[in-house]
Structure 1
């Protein structure tokens, strides 16, 4: 393998980005796999994310086979998995990160324009045959949607692996409630900003700092990056700021493989499903798996999918990929077990959409509408109230998008609704799952700020309400309002005798069971069910507005219910 370190790529404004290029040793022109992002391309996975690496190898030792693993880097592909198969691999540090100079403006269109230029630069190099594909996790996936919509001439296929496609609804504001993920995520990225210099980790192969040859003061570093938290807090509604960062789905017409994670509640799920559903491409596939968001990207299962897809669309091989069903699912079972199944479409065409009505008198979820009207009141910032199904009479699969309709009133002018779909065994103990970024995720979650209840009727679906988030409609205290709430998709096969529960609450879900300290460290963030996707910003949720009481109404005329996608066996 031939490696070229810190190859310069000059942008339209003169700023120079740097790329590491990995090539097969026979000279030639090869299809090229690219990533562009802020995590410092010279940083060793095994050093910077040792807990994740070690746990991943413990669970899947085969990841270490067939590669020296010397060039493993966080959330991008291992070049040793591709070079022997006749690919070039290019890793680019995004503007202001790693070895790339310039003002760092994360999650911006400036980065996307840079990405476009990098794609076209790579296509012109003598070692590239002009067919460029994009591959990477999370940040390295999310920017693929936006750059693909710009239609770089030489971009031929993308694999966004667990990457948001709607920064407002999936990243910054869940249901209109500010998510604090960037508050904890951004400080972790500062040591990878260009100019961190001698304070940063060293590239194990070159001995150089992974964050550039210069060492800036803390004040210089601050001046060289956009304060993203302040920027997001200044835009609590879906305004022009987010509109400029919205994907134009009509312009994505290249082949794509969109990979999502059932446990990606808060970031690594909805965007991939929306991308599959909305993109204009006729050659598109959806894959959904489980476990941590970095795991199956590196397992033989994931790598084989990626290679087969790129062999077809970057090399033009007739390898049978075109005959593969459009939806590839890992159906989730209790005990973090998964069973592979192929489907023809999403949602699954044979879905039996089933309403379970809330009963505020019995606290049950029933398929029959309650005969009597009733209500239940809870503290608006409290644990709320849970409604349960009867024990399942037989094994029942729930796979697909979910939604709820609630009739509520508030003692104040607004209310934040947190919905949590949960699973309980016959003894009443809650069953949780290893998620994308938390070891104890529930079955599914959804959020809505009541003042953001306005729907976009053209984009809303019965199983996926779509809110505009463009205006605030305050509540009149005591008046009853109808809320349609999106719950992010899920998959769970509920065993006989188990029950589902829907918790309606006023704050983030917290798993109450015993924690495994090793697993919580593995996930890098507090692991009580939501990981880093928390919603407790006092500026966004002042107690005098969100700290009152909320009442949920059930019965005829106030048909509060949960819509579940029940999947019968294939005929």
Structure 2
């Protein structure tokens, strides 16, 4: 019989407010083990102390490959230096709840190293059914411990949110509520490939910086101040290579979604029934907001909410008002203490509206300015998409305009060189009144090429103020981003309009090998480009520009498709990519225009 907790150490926090059990064991059904840290209030018993009569608390659980023991200050010094107080201190770790705050709030906090990372042995396979099942097992374990009331909540950012969708879809016993904060729910469409195009720059940087560096048995972590070394010893380079799935490499080798890599990672979001608060960031285009919106729309939960924030990826989660939001939600479903009316359900009288969004109006927008982002007002809505949304077409015209009138006899063709050519822009006239665009834009582009290659299309929405200056917003890393982004590879353009998830504004694609169809020479094909959820308010006199390009352009932040083999000259270059405008080729941008027109009169949150 395996001895549990053989590596465990127990200490009291420096301020004396909680107990930390480091490297407690969570046994898995296949004989494996996950190692976790348990942060518990002083009067809660030790893990597996079945004879104790100590206090019991609801539990917050997180799991990832990033390393439960890597101090936030080492993991991301710049972020930590500007962090809010309730994100800093002893045992602070990137993107997770701070033990000092949450134990004082009456919770046990459990932080887990994913299998194959940190102190958890086993084969490492990120974002897979193995991860979802391991996390579900850990949730059930936490619900049964001597310090637990049996109620488990999930709270965390990014990867710590992705795992929430995966585990919740398995309906583990004891799971009471989830708060996926900026978290994708579809590893293929949200993270690996945008419109079939590899999101190479980010996944390479992310993997090399904070995933591969935490592999179980990797030597030298302590010397690099990247958490402690593996307590059970180092692995050889050969053992390390055999002990993990190289996810970026696999994403390159398997470009379509109908392979085990992505079938195994697919999350049955429709199976989620637990109360959920999905929090998306308007500035996160390129990774998470699509998943937060899709997760909310697809989940079967009767008690579900969708909130939109703005600001950098790392800071908003730890704002006082955001922590108060998180706590009110979790207290309601984990403790039965409801200060805001969550238990009444979305849109109930005296309760919480189903949707709340930060309103980004002209004049109050500054890039990477945390006080400015916190000061923006918030509006409540009853549903998503917003009731009263008018999907309004703007047709591309021969004079490079965007017009409300369809082309009539004015045929035109615009072209650029595939792969590295210059973008072409189409602009609206000045808007006659303030106009709000919130929801799911989609671009219908009729395109052809002069050769027999593939076509990658990068669509950007650029917003201009009445004075002619471009309006930028705070992106994931703090860099300036544009109003909207969309992507599509011509060979993967096939749509399944009969699929339950298909909407005119969110086309559904299987991205299956059997559906691949390369455009023939001079063949005009319709490219229906999904633009990720947007929100912006165009002031009177302002304009909107549709930019169409064969490559990434300014305002993309970290989510660049720059792999030279994935996007090679041989596969995409040396030909003309054409955009067609004609009576039978009504290339157009469809915008979700909402009646609120920029209204917003409530403080956050």
Counterpart mapping for 1:532-571 below 5 A: 532-547=558-573, 548-569=575-596
Aligned 8 A contact 2:275 2:303 in 1: yes
Q: Give SS of 1:418's match.
A: strand
Cα displacement string for residues 506-552 of structure 1 (whole angstroms, at most 9, x for unaligned residues)? 00122xxxxxxxxxxxxxxxxxx323322122332232331121111
Counterpart CA distance in 2 for 1:30 and 1:175 is 44
Q: Find the counterpart in structure 2 of residue 60 from structure 1.
A: none
Counterpart CA distance in 1 for 2:291 and 2:230 is 30
Aligned 8 A contact 1:196 1:212 in 2: no
Counterpart CA distance in 2 for 1:328 and 1:146 is 24
Counterpart CA distance in 1 for 2:29 and 2:78 is 40
| 1:368 is aligned to 2:405 | yes
Counterpart CA distance in 1 for 2:116 and 2:510 is 33
Under a length normalisation based on structure 2, what TM-score does the superposition of the two structures give? 0.86
Of stretches 432-441 and 159-168 in structure 1, the one that deviates more from structure 2 is 432-441
Counterpart CA distance in 2 for 1:201 and 1:11 is 31
Q: After TM superposition, give the deviation of residue 273 of structure 1 in Å.
A: 0.2
Q: Give SS of 1:332's match.
A: coil
1:456 corresponds to which of 496, 500, 503: 496
Aligned 8 A contact 2:21 2:37 in 1: yes
Q: After TM superposition, give the deviation of residue 432 of structure 1 in Å.
A: 1.4
Q: After TM superposition, give the deviation of residue 182 of structure 1 in Å.
A: 2.0
| 1:328 is aligned to 2:356 | yes
Aligned 8 A contact 1:42 1:203 in 2: no
Counterpart CA distance in 1 for 2:478 and 2:56 is 42
Cα displacement string for residues 49-89 of structure 1 (whole angstroms, at most 9, x for unaligned residues)? 1111223x4xxxxx216x86222110111122211221111
Aligned 8 A contact 2:59 2:151 in 1: yes
Q: Find the counterpart in structure 1 of residue 507 from structure 2.
A: 465
| 1:64 is aligned to 2:106 | no
Counterpart CA distance in 2 for 1:387 and 1:68 is 46
Q: Find the counterpart in structure 1 of residue 369 from structure 2.
A: none
Q: Find the counterpart in structure 1 of residue 256 from structure 2.
A: 237
Query: Per the alignment, do residues 201 and 555 of structure 1 end up closer, same or farther by CA in structure 2, a change over 3 Å counting?
Result: farther
Counterpart CA distance in 1 for 2:290 and 2:88 is 35
Q: Give SS of 1:488's match.
A: coil
Q: After TM superposition, give the deviation of residue 569 of structure 1 in Å.
A: 2.6
Q: Find the counterpart in structure 1 of residue 273 from structure 2.
A: 253
Aligned 8 A contact 2:465 2:538 in 1: no
Counterpart mapping for 1:153-164 below 5 A: 153-164=173-184
Counterpart CA distance in 2 for 1:385 and 1:103 is 47
Q: Find the counterpart in structure 2 of residue 446 from structure 1.
A: 486
Which ranges in structure 1 are unaligned for 5 or more consecutive residues? 58-62, 511-528
2:78 corresponds to which of 38, 44, 51: 51
Counterpart CA distance in 1 for 2:324 and 2:131 is 30
Counterpart mapping for 1:425-440 below 5 A: 425-440=465-480
Counterpart CA distance in 1 for 2:203 and 2:95 is 18
RMSD: 1.9
1:397 corresponds to which of 431, 436, 461: 436
| 1:106 is aligned to 2:121 | no
Q: After TM superposition, give the deviation of residue 427 of structure 1 in Å.
A: 4.5
Counterpart CA distance in 2 for 1:157 and 1:286 is 14
Aligned 8 A contact 2:464 2:543 in 1: yes
Counterpart CA distance in 2 for 1:317 and 1:279 is 24
Counterpart CA distance in 2 for 1:261 and 1:98 is 29
Which ranges in structure 2 are unaligned for 5 or more consecutive residues? 1-17, 45-54, 345-350, 367-372, 600-605
Query: Per the alignment, do residues 73 and 210 of structure 1 end up closer, same or farther by CA in structure 2, a change over 3 Å counting?
Result: farther
Query: Per the alignment, do residues 556 and 201 of structure 1 end up closer, same or farther by CA in structure 2, a change over 3 Å counting?
Result: farther
Counterpart CA distance in 2 for 1:82 and 1:288 is 23
Q: Number of paired residues? A: 542
Under a length normalisation based on structure 1, what TM-score does the superposition of the two structures give? 0.91
Aligned 8 A contact 1:140 1:160 in 2: yes
Aligned 8 A contact 1:158 1:256 in 2: yes
Q: After TM superposition, give the deviation of residue 249 of structure 1 in Å.
A: 2.5
Cα displacement string for residues 200-254 of structure 1 (whole angstroms, at most 9, x for unaligned residues)? 36889xxx71654523344433232222223222221120422232121331111
Counterpart CA distance in 2 for 1:532 and 1:250 is 30
Query: Per the alignment, do residues 11 and 248 of structure 1 end up closer, same or farther by CA in structure 2, a change over 3 Å counting?
Result: same
Counterpart CA distance in 2 for 1:211 and 1:425 is 54
Cα displacement string for residues 443-501 of structure 1 (whole angstroms, at most 9, x for unaligned residues)? 11001111111111133212111222112111111111112110001111112222111
Q: Find the counterpart in structure 2 of residue 132 from structure 1.
A: 152
